[in-house]
A and B are shown apart, each in its own frame.
Chain A
Amino acid sequence: MWKWFHKLASPPHFYRISAILAPWLLVPGLILIGYGVYFGLFVVPMDYQQGDAFRIIYVHVPSAYLSMMAYMIMAISGGIGLIWRIKLSHAVAAAAAPLGAAFTFLALCTGSIWGRPMWGTWWEWGDPRMMSELILLFLYFGYMALRSAIDETTKADKASAVLALVGIVNVVIVHFSVEWWSSLHQGQTLMRKGGPGMDAEMLYPLLANILGFTLLFGSLLLRRIRTEVLFRERRTRWVREMILSPQGGA
């Protein structure tokens, strides 16, 4: 009974480690975002083509990258849980889904706001990246809907892991099919592929923000996993002992 306590992936062990780890991700993350946002919004000079509008990349690029990163984490940890039957990795997948959906939504919103001055439209149906991102959002919705439709947690874990893995194969196909589809359409002249190479002055705040967002995502994910673990293990002894202890599980 107490043997699994010693395993690294055991929920109580994770619960203790993550409490120590979460602030170490959060604080550097916030500092990096602070640096990135300040320099990105106030210090870096205007882009000679896009003016001030380009500054939205400091939010757009990190959230677009995290939207895909979160899906990878969700699908891979679901797969690990399916193959090696590690309970914790299913909790990781469950915790990653809403975060991933949130970052996907953020990426779509910022992309849309950026598209307004640049392409003259809030939404460009012909842009393959926008379409892929929108389909990714739908995949997240489907994943979360399936999870919430199944009452039994173990069953929900496994079923949604299968869906996430099928989805990961499909994301690649979606990307290529959308690319092929949009290459048929005229009117790509609105889009400048590649764009101007970036100055170091512009690049560093962006890199800082990408790293900062990643750390923030990591700490948010840890917090969500902790809640998830606590909820899933609510009938176990360690949770009861921790809650009843004088510290109250803080």
Chain B
Amino acid sequence: MNDQQREIPGILTGLVAMTKRDLLLAWKRPGDVLNPLFFFAMVCTLFPLAVGPSAEQLEFSGPGVLWVAALLATLLSLNSLFITDFEDGSLDQLLVSPQPLPVLVLGKTLAHWMTSGLPLVFVSPILAITYRMPLSVVGVMMLTLALGTISLSLLGSIGAALTVGLHRGTALLSLLILPLAMPIMILGANAVSLAAHNDIYTTGIWALGAYAIGSLSLAPYATAAALRISNE
């Protein structure tokens, strides 16, 4: 091995390699991707069973239910963000790699969003239609979910990094992230219900976009710091 003589690849190469690796891992373990989706569908099934299947009720609660279910499904998938790397030691390799850690973390988080948030966005229309959501609103909902789940993945990565080496980390992760994730859900769900009432919903979309940009630029640093703390 003559790694030291070799030139260090650029930042973008590192980012892409990290994302590709995690996507490949997800491809090899489809259960990790599918389970949160099944969970999402099941939570959406629970609500009509609990509150009754009347049409007005479903129309009224649809946006909220879908958003709560998406939030919970994302939380469920966040647990596996760093845990396998932590267990097989590849997390240590990331920490000592010459690439900047926030960039690698960003790569991992992007891969996480592509395997958790993005599938949710594409599954949600099916469930939305069962909730009698009009097609024009379904588009708005997909947009809010796409923007919101990016922020959720990034915000959640901080929590996942803080709890990575801990026993009982799963419950703790939810406890840490849920209060922080509330604004995303508020903005998303309300933009959708405003759209359903033919009201101006763009405020929520802009705010979600701002949140996504803000967390894209800040969260990887917090996650990197948290990873270093958890693994020292």
A interface residues, Cβ below 8 angstroms from B: 135, 138-139, 141-142, 145-146, 149-150, 155, 158-159, 162-163, 165-167, 169-170, 173-174, 176-178, 180-181, 184
Contacts and interface: CB of A to CB of B under 8 A. Distances in A.
Interface of B: 155, 158, 162-163, 166-169, 172, 175-176, 178-180, 182-183, 186-187, 190, 194, 203-204, 207, 211, 218, 222, 225-226, 229-230, 232
Given A141-B175, A145-B176, A146-B163, 18 more contacts: A139-B180, A142-B179, A146-B162, A146-B172, A149-B163, A149-B168, A158-B229, A159-B162, A159-B226, A159-B230, A162-B162, A166-B180, A177-B182, A177-B183, A177-B186, A178-B183, A180-B203, A180-B207
B179 A135 contact: yes
A174 B158 contact: no
B179 A138 contact: yes
Contact of A142 (B176, B207, B211, B232): B176
Given A145-B175, A162-B158, A184-B190, A170 B229 contact: no
B226 A162 contact: yes
A174 B172 contact: no
Is chain B's binding surface mostly helix, strand, loop or mixed? helix
A198 B207 CA distance: 36
A146 B229 contact: no
B220 to A, nearest CB: 12
Contact of B179 (A139, A159, A184): A139
Given A146-B163, A149-B166, A167 B190 contact: no
B187 to A, nearest CB: 6
Contacts of B218: 169
A149 B182 contact: no
Interface of A is mostly: helix
Query: Which of the listed residues B166, B182, B204 has the most CB atoms from chain A within 10 Å of its own CB?
Result: B182
Nearest to A150: B166
13 contacts: A138-B178, A145-B175, A149-B163, A149-B166, A162-B226, A163-B158, A167-B179, A167-B180, A173-B211, A177-B182, A177-B186, A180-B190, A181-B186
B176 A146 contact: yes
Contacts of B225: 162
B230 A155 contact: yes
Contact of A149 (B155, B172, B183): B172
B203 A163 contact: no
Contacts of A162: 158, 162, 222, 225-226, 229
Contacts of A178: 183, 186
A184 B194 contact: yes
A137 to B, nearest CB: 9
What are the 6 closest A-B residue pairs judged by CB atoms, nearest first?
Answer: A177-B183, A138-B179, A158-B229, A142-B176, A177-B186, A173-B183
A174 B225 CA distance: 23
Contacts of B179: 135, 138-139, 142, 167, 170, 174
Contacts of B178: 138
B182 A166 contact: no
Contacts of A138: 175, 178-179
B187 A163 contact: no
A142 B175 contact: yes
Contacts of A142: 175-176, 179
Contacts of A177: 182-183, 186-187, 207
